A = this chain, B = another copy of it.
Amino acid sequence: MDRDQTEKDDEGSGRPTLKTLAFMTGLGVTTVSRALKDAPEIGAETRRRVQLVAKQIGYRPNRAGVRLRTGKTNVISLVLNTEREIMSFVSDIIYGVSEVIADTPYHLIVTPYSRSQDPLDPIRYLLETGSADGVIISRTQPNDPRARYMLERGIPFATHGRTDMGLIHPYHDFDNYAFATEAVRHLAGIGRRRLALLAPPVELTYHSHTLNGFTDALSEVGASEIPFNTVSVDHSIDQIRMRTAQLMRRDVRPDGFVSSAAAATLAIVAGIEDAGLKLGRDVDVVSKQSSDLLHLFRRELLVVNENFRLAGAELARSVLGWIGGAAPGSLQSLSMPGEVVAYRRPD
C-alpha cells in the first residue's frame, strides 16, 4: 500500500509546523528544517522553494519545540528590584532592551525580587529552571555574588554598572566619576565652596565612583566637603528632605549639592526651602536626571542627563553579543555625561 498522503489531517486547523511545510513541498521534515536555516547540504532551489512557502503561509517555529529540543529559550530576563529601582529606569531600560531585541526572536521577561529576598534568589531560579539565555541585572556591587554566580554557571549576562572583582563580563555604565567631577567643577565655577554629596547607596559600585569623582574634584578646585552621608538616594523622599533641612540649619552648611538622582533632588530642594533658604541664591544643586523634568521643577537647578534607554539598548546588545559568541571583554561600554546644563528659556 502506498504511503498515505494525509498522515493526519495536517493542513487547515492550527498554525503551520514543519510537518505542514514538508507536506506542502513534498519534502521530508528534516529537509525543511535544514532548508530554513540555510544549511549547506540543501540544494539552492529547494532552499528557495521552502523559504518561499514558509513565508507565504507565515510559518513561525514553535518556541516550545525548539526550546525542548535545543534548550535555547530565546528569552532575555531583566532582573529588577521591586522596591528600590528608579521609576524612569524601569520604563526606559525596558524600552531600550525592547528596541534592540525587536527584530530578533527574543522575548523579554521581567524577573522581580523584593526587599526581603536575597538578590541571588531570582538568578538561582533562572539558572535552575533554565528560563533564559541571557540575563540583565542592575544595582551592581563591587563584589557581586550574582555576577560571580552567573560566571561560574556560564550563562551570558550584562550588568548595569561595573563590578570590581577582577572578573571580566559585559557591562554598561554611566561615568559617575566624570559626572561628580563635572558637577563639582561647575559649582566651584559659580563660586560654591562648601559642597555636599547625596550619593548612591554604599553597597553599589557607583557609590565609590561618584564619591571618588566628588572628592578628587574637591581637592582639584580647592573646595571642601560638608558630610552628608546619613542618607543616600535610596532613602525615602521624606528622610532626605528632613536630613537636608537639618543640614541647612547648621552654622556650617553647604552652599552646593551634588545629587545622584532626580527624585532625591526634589527632596533636597524641599529641605533647602524648609530651612528658609533659596535655591540659586544661598545654594546651588547639580543633579542627574533621566527625563527632562527638573528644570520645570526649579529653573535654578543644574542638571546632567543620564540616558537609561540607551543603557537598556546597550545592555541588550551586550547580552546578545555574548550569546552570539563574542568575547565578554569586548562588550563593555561606558557612557560619558554631557555638560552640566542650566535652565534655558524655551523659544
Once the chains bind, are B112 and A94 in contact (CB under 8 Å)?
yes
> Quick check: B91 and A263 within 8 Å, CB to CB?
no
A130 on the B face (CB < 8 A): yes
A33 on the B face (CB < 8 A):
no
> Does A229 have its Cβ within 8 Å of any Cβ on chain B?
no
Render A262-297 as a binary contact track against B, CB cut-off 8 A, 1 for contact: 010011011000000000000000000001110011
- List of B residues within 8 angstroms of A94 by Cβ: 80, 90, 94, 110, 112
Q: Chain A 50-92, CB within 8 Å of chain B: the 1/0 string?
A: 0000000010101111011000010100001010010110111
Contact residues in B for A80 (Cβ distance below 8 Å): 94
Task: From known contacts A64-B64, A237-B292, A238-B346, infer whether A95 and B109 are also in contact, taking CB-CB under 8 Å.
Answer: no
- Whether the pair A82, B64 counts as a contact (CB closer than 8 A) is no
Contact B102 A112 (CB under 8 A): yes
A341 → B minimal CB distance (Å): 16
Contact A82–B110 (Cβ < 8 Å):
no
Interface contact A112-B90, CB-CB below 8 Å: no
8 Å CB contacts to B: which residues of A231-284?
A: 237-238, 241-242, 263, 266-267, 269-270
B129 to A63, Cβ gap below 8 A? yes
**Interface 1/0s, chain A 285-327, versus B by CB < 8 A?**
0000001110011000000000000000000000000000000
Instruction: Let me know if A60 and B129 touch, CB within 8 A.
Output: yes
Q: Is A131 located at the chain interface by the 8 A CB criterion? A: yes
Contact of A109 with B108 in the complex, beta carbons under 8 Å: yes
Q: Indicate if A11 sits at the interface (CB-CB under 8 A).
A: no
The answer to the question of A107 belonging to the interface, with a C-beta cut-off of 8 Å to chain B, is yes
Q: Judging by beta carbons under 8 Å apart, are B107 and A131 in contact? A: yes
CA distance A249 to B174 in the complex (A): 42
CB-nearest residue of chain B to A345: B274
Q: Which residue of the partner chain B has the closest CB to A88?
A: B87
Shortest distance between the CB of A193 and any CB in chain B (Å): 27
Tell me whether A99 is interfacial, beta carbon within 8 Å: yes
A238 to chain B, nearest CB (A): 6
Enumerate A97-114 residues with CB–CB distance to B below 8 Å.
98-99, 102, 107-112
Closest-by-CB residue of B relative to A274 is B346
In the complex, the 4 A-B pairs of residues with the closest C-beta atoms, listed nearest first = A64-B67, A90-B91, A64-B68, A98-B112
Sample of 18 further A-B pairs with CB below 8 A, known A64-B73, A68-B68, A85-B91: A15-B129, A60-B129, A87-B87, A87-B291, A90-B94, A94-B94, A94-B110, A98-B112, A107-B109, A107-B111, A107-B131, A237-B296, A238-B346, A241-B346, A242-B346, A266-B297, A296-B297, A297-B297
- Of the A-B pairs whose beta carbons lie under 8 Å apart in the complex, a sample of 24, sorted by A's number, is A60-B129, A64-B68, A64-B73, A65-B68, A68-B68, A75-B109, A82-B98, A87-B87, A87-B88, A87-B291, A90-B91, A91-B91, A94-B94, A98-B112, A102-B112, A108-B109, A109-B109, A237-B293, A237-B296, A266-B296, A266-B297, A269-B296, A270-B296, A297-B297
